[in-house]
Amino acid sequence: MKSTETPHAVFISTHLDDVALSCSRCVQNNRAPTVVTVLAGAPDALVTNEWNSRTTGKDYAPDAIGVRLEEDAAAMRLLGAKAIWLGFLDKTYMSGERQDEEAIADELVAVLAAQKAETVFVPLGIVDSDHVTVGRACIKLVMRLDGPRFLFYTDQPYGTVSPKSVAARLSELHDLGVNLQEVPSVGPVDDGIRDVAFRCYATQYGPITDEFGPSYDASKEQYWQIS
Ligand SMILES: [Zn+2]
Question: 12-21, pLDDT tens digit by residue?
Answer: 999 999 999 9
Reduced to 3 states (helix: H, G, I; strand: E, B; else coil), residue 30 is coil
* 165 vs 6: which has the higher pLDDT: 165
Task: Give the pLDDT score at 189.
Answer: 56
Cα 223 to averaged position of ligand 1 atoms, centre (Å): 17
Cα 15 to averaged position of ligand 1 atoms, centre (Å): 5
C-beta neighbour count of 76 within 10 angstroms: 23
Residues near ligand 1 ion, CB 5 Å cutoff: 14-15, 18
C-beta neighbour count of 57 within 10 angstroms: 11
Residues 167-226: tens digit of each pLDDT: 999 999 999 999 999 997 555 456 689 999 999 999 999 999 999 999 998 899 999 999
Assess whether pLDDT exceeds 90 at residue 52. Answer: yes
Buried b (16+ CB within 10 A) or exposed e, 205-217: beebbeebeebbe
Reduced to 3 states (helix: H, G, I; strand: E, B; else coil), residue 153 is strand
Cα 17 to averaged position of ligand 1 atoms, centre (Å): 7
Cα 127 to averaged position of ligand 1 atoms, centre (Å): 10
63 and 39 in contact (C-beta within 8 Å)? no
Element (DSSP H or E) covering residue 36? strand 34-37
Assess whether pLDDT exceeds 70 at residue 9. Answer: yes
Residue 157: cis peptide before it, omega within 30 degrees of 0:
yes
Cα 14 to averaged position of ligand 1 atoms, centre (Å): 5
Hey, what long-range contacts does 205-208 have (CB within 8 A, 24 or more apart)?
Answer: 207/54, 207/55, 208/17, 208/21, 208/157
Task: Give the pLDDT score at 37.
Answer: 98
Reduced to 3 states (helix: H, G, I; strand: E, B; else coil), residue 33 is coil
Tell me which amino acid residue 72 is: D
Portion of the chain with pLDDT greater than 90, in percent: 87
What share of residues in the chain are helix, strand, coil (percent, to 5)? 50, 15, 35
9-226, superfamily in CATH?
LmbE-like (3.40.50.10320)
Task: Give the pLDDT score at 184.
Answer: 75
Assess whether pLDDT exceeds 50 at residue 1. Answer: no
Tell me which amino acid residue 214 is: P
